[in-house]
Structure 1
């Protein structure tokens, strides 16, 4: 039997359990496993009238009950434990890839798990210094040079090594997914990509030299593009992926164009990891109205990446 993919339940107080149940009711691929709390999933299934068979389940019980839609250290500890079990299993070869549901960062912090998110934990756990966060959909794909940092700190983090790392990892991944050499683009940092240095010198000083070095390595990448027009349809139709310099530069266009359909992929790991591109949505947790579309797409992409 093929090695299964594994899905984490995510924060049990959020929409993750509902998404797991909806996915398993109509799985997009065979041979899936889920790490979560069986009793909690059964309660949610009964409440929302979603069929649930525990043959997919790797049971990791909650130590005590939690309240849906509320931040708690118990929920944070449990979502972290589910992730840790999934990643360790993948590293040991028990799972072919990991698909993660959303965690709540404050719940992690309350539980003493001081990681800004999944990606930072995965990079440390797998000892993967070269990595990138890529958000992908049919409409648009963006990789991020910087992620969960303040906007004020971005310029000092735009080092040549880091930018080339993200460009190279994205080029390799997209070329594999698309089946042809990837066509990349990088928006500038400043308004109008600096307008020749009038609105900032970062483009001239180090962004343009990095792009020239990437091209010398055979990578097809254009830029720096003026950020206010970089994502227009006429440009997007000729671009396979954008290399965005900071979090919201990539996430705003992606969520505008493909909300509920985006998939988060961590590039550069020794294991395949995909994730939904949304949060715990505590405001709608337990109501049965959460869209499972992103989790379906994340599962399909994980299957494709593990088969390549």
Structure 2
């Protein structure tokens, strides 16, 4: 593939006080990224320059005012410079309205670029929810921002690590509210989105495992009623639509079965139910070295009119500026975004 036909990926800077800029610097210093796509970072060029120093990588920074000015050349990372961070007052590892505003600006800018077809896909580095709310933007995460700014009502979060794929009925809400959101209509929509995603990625006749909400999927009603009243009816409706779905399945066994290949994708009822199994598999902490040995897994938002792939880790304020952060998840996100933009099959 010639360089002029490779997909253009807009990569948001993330929170400038977190590890986003340094993992971007590390990823941008790898030629494999430029073999896959034409990346352009959306954020503050001065922040990326500092991140290059922190990451101790050999790459220059090329600030541009618009996407058409980018050179997309390995050795000089292009940055659509929003000039929205005062480096002198930026404190790494700390919550601030300035950092929240800068990261939010990068996200809304990259969404606009994708909606206007100036870029082919978006990749997001982590933001800090407290910082963006401190800046006056009351969203609970990237997924909700993308939903709002693309005018999308029905969307869901897909997490992927290896062959384990999990979508969510709800994400960034309290556990008490998450239980209230376990409704037949929403569960059915998420099953449909899961099925469409699997088909898009080349999985023929995907088998979808749907988790229960309660322990042992309520054990026939002993521990709750949601399985009988909401989840099972949603699964039955999906089957009537010729979708291969099974459930409700006890959550403590579903994810192991999905990891082992029995199910192509799993539907989780709430945030932690789906995130914990993914992160137990993909995140490995080395206590002796006091750092993450592995940070794998990516986050894809399904149902949007544009492509959004993200790292599946946070801002890691505790190690920001130390050069320890791993770029693994970002590299995987870039790979998936590039393949999705090309319309090709992603290797799960």
Q: What is the TM-score when the length of structure 2 is the normalising length?
A: 0.85
**Does the CA-based 8 Å contact 1:139-1:258 persist in structure 2?**
no
Which structure carries more relative contact order (alpha carbon 8 Å, separation 6+)? 1
Does 1:5 find its partner at 2:9?
Answer: yes
Q: CA deviation at 1:71?
A: 0.9
Partner in structure 2 of residue 270 of structure 1: 305
Out of 248, 273, 291, the residue aligned to residue 224 of structure 1 is: 248
1:154-178 C-alpha deviation (Å, 9 max, x unpaired): 2321222211111101111122214
Once the two structures are superposed, the pairs formed by residues 1-308 of structure 1 within 5 Å of their partners are: 1-2=4-5, 3-26=7-30, 27-28=32-33, 29-55=36-62, 56-65=78-87, 66-233=90-257, 236-259=260-283, 260-308=295-343
Count of aligned residue pairs for this structure pair: 308
Q: CA deviation at 1:124?
A: 0.8
Give the distance between the partners of 2:111 and 2:258, measured in 1 at CA: 40
Distance 1:75 1:88, change over 3 A: same
Give the distance between the partners of 2:224 and 2:260, measured in 1 at CA: 25
Give the distance between the partners of 1:85 and 1:107, measured in 2 at CA: 18
Give the distance between the partners of 1:229 and 1:41, measured in 2 at CA: 43
Q: What is the TM-score when the length of structure 1 is the normalising length?
A: 0.96
Q: CA deviation at 1:235?
A: 6.7
Q: CA deviation at 1:234?
A: 7.7
Return 229-238 or 43-52, whichever deviates more.
Answer: 229-238
Q: CA deviation at 1:42?
A: 1.1
Divergent runs of 4+, >6 A: none
Give the distance between the partners of 1:52 and 1:35, measured in 2 at CA: 17
Distance 1:151 1:63, change over 3 A: closer
Gaps of 5+ in 1: none
**Does the CA-based 8 Å contact 2:257-2:263 persist in structure 1?**
no
1:189-233 C-alpha deviation (Å, 9 max, x unpaired): 111111111111111112111101101111111111111222225
Give the distance between the partners of 1:153 and 1:249, measured in 2 at CA: 14
Q: Secondary structure at the match of 1:222?
A: strand
Q: CA deviation at 1:238?
A: 1.4
1:29-57 C-alpha deviation (Å, 9 max, x unpaired): 23111112111211221243212222422
Distance 1:235 1:51, change over 3 A: closer
1:48-96 C-alpha deviation (Å, 9 max, x unpaired): 3212222422112234120111111111100011111111000000010
Gaps of 5+ in 2: 63-77, 284-294, 344-348
